[in-house]
Amino acid sequence: MTDKPITVTSPLLPNLDDLIPMLKDIWDRKWLTNNGHYHKELEKALAEYLGVKYLSLFTNGTLPLITALQAMRITGEVITTPYSFVATTHSIWWNGLKPVFVDVEEETGNIDPEKIEAAITPHTTAIMPVHVYGTPCNTKRIQEIADIYGLKVIYDAAHAFGVHVNGESILKSGDMSTLSFHATKVYTTVEGGALVCHDEATKKRIDYLKNFGFAGETTVVAPGINSKMDEIRSAFGLLNLKQVDSAIASRKATAEKYREALKNIPGIRMLKDIEGVRHNYSYFPIFIDEKQYGMSREALYEKLKENNIFGRRYFYPLISTFSAYKGLESANPANLPIAHKLADQVLCLPMFAGLDEESANRVIDIVLKK
């Protein structure tokens, strides 16, 4: 008998019996989108849960990145990381800006603050770091650099839902932060995202930009885009918010199980929990040193697949190696040795709220080469 497939992640689904009455209510209201009842309720509930004042919902996690750059009126060059999902850099490109890659920290995979200053030119106006796997960037050092050079900081916090540092939301860092609510994330609205800012005037501008630039029935104040979240996904999100804490607790238990089982395996490195940080365990990457482990990352990836376990080489390849970006001077592999090393070693193991103990043990057994 073939074992059931195990993927890297699985969506967090609300109880269907709870969702159906909300769908009926949406039907009865005859208001499907455009800042409806459930949209307003979800914005309010998410802001409260995440500990932020101003949050705007979007239809996916890429459009908040694009809109953040628009709202901050960013020009010229944006310093960012090659070790991320392509949406990070694509958002810069879509705004007609130039991405400038710098290397990352080996311990976290996050942008290395000490590499940022050397990449600043007279054309640099912003920094776009990523909280990779939900691990917080060195926000203090990044902000110090931004303040010295008069730069804006927009965090791609797609993985960082609910992450706190010393009791404060990581989303309070920088000028703006973006979130993704894709089905693969800790918290999901099926597809969706959000943009977090720190003042009412900026939120108003964001809300104009995500609705074609309309500031009234006949007034368009900016060349905006259509990126509003509809009522059905907003309702879905309200229900999922009720169970996200238990989902994070479940993920934490799986992470602890993996760490205990793999802690003494030569050639396998895992990310550590950081003191004072409330992690969300959005992913569980391991980094494989082929010489010590005795098997390459690719070989283990294929071995898992042969056993119906579908890991993910995340992030591989690096963004800087894609055809759209490899011609950039900052994409030179010689400038990004740590990012290349991580991309060649990383393999994310299955990590989601519904991952049962038997499935986790199957994954562990394969990694242990039993």
Residue 229 pLDDT more than 50? yes
* C-beta of residue 129 within 8 angstroms of C-beta of residue 155: yes
Mean pLDDT of 249-260: 97
The pLDDT score that the predictor gives to residue 2 is 60
3-state class (DSSP) for residue 275: coil
The pLDDT score that the predictor gives to residue 178 is 98
pLDDT in tens, 138-151: 999 999 999 999 99
SS3 readout for 147-204: HHHCCEEEEECCCCCCCEECCEEHHHCCCEEEEECCCCCCCCCCCCEEEEECCHHHHH
The set of residues, in sequence order, having a beta carbon less than 8 Å from that of 48 and lying 6+ positions away, is: none
pLDDT in tens, 280-338: 999 999 999 999 999 999 999 999 999 999 999 999 999 999 999 999 999 999 999 99
Q: Is the peptide bond prior to 14 cis by the omega test (within 30 degrees of 0)?
A: no
What is the pTM (predicted TM-score) of this model?
0.97
Residue 4 pLDDT more than 90? no
Options 3.60.15.10, 3.40.50.2020, 3.40.640.10, 3.90.1150.10; which CATH number does 244-367 get? 3.90.1150.10
Q: Which residue has the tokens 């890297």?
A: 8
The pLDDT score that the predictor gives to residue 1 is 42
Residue 228 pLDDT more than 80? yes
Residue 32 pLDDT more than 80? yes
Q: How confident is the model at residue 369 (pLDDT cuts 50, 70, 90)?
A: confident
Asked if the domains 16-241 and 244-367 are classified in one and the same CATH topology, the answer is no
The pLDDT score that the predictor gives to residue 116 is 98
Spell out the domain ranges in the chain.
Answer: 16-241, 244-367
pLDDT in tens, 41-89: 999 999 999 999 999 999 999 999 999 999 999 999 999 999 999 999 9
Q: Say how many residues make up the chain.
A: 370
Q: To the nearest whole number, what is the mean pLDDT of the chain?
A: 97
The pLDDT score that the predictor gives to residue 175 is 98
d(CA 291, CA 311): 21
Residue 370 pLDDT more than 70? no
Mean pLDDT of 175-188: 97
CATH fold label, 16-241: Aspartate Aminotransferase; domain 2 (3.40.640)
Q: How confident is the model at residue 163 (pLDDT cuts 50, 70, 90)?
A: very high
Q: How confident is the model at residue 160 (pLDDT cuts 50, 70, 90)?
A: very high
The distance of Cα 349 from the centroid of its chain, to the nearest Å, equals 17
The pLDDT score that the predictor gives to residue 3 is 80
The pLDDT score that the predictor gives to residue 333 is 98
DSSP per-residue string spanning 18-58 = HHHHHHHHHHHHT--SSS-HHHHHHHHHHHHHHT-SEEEEE
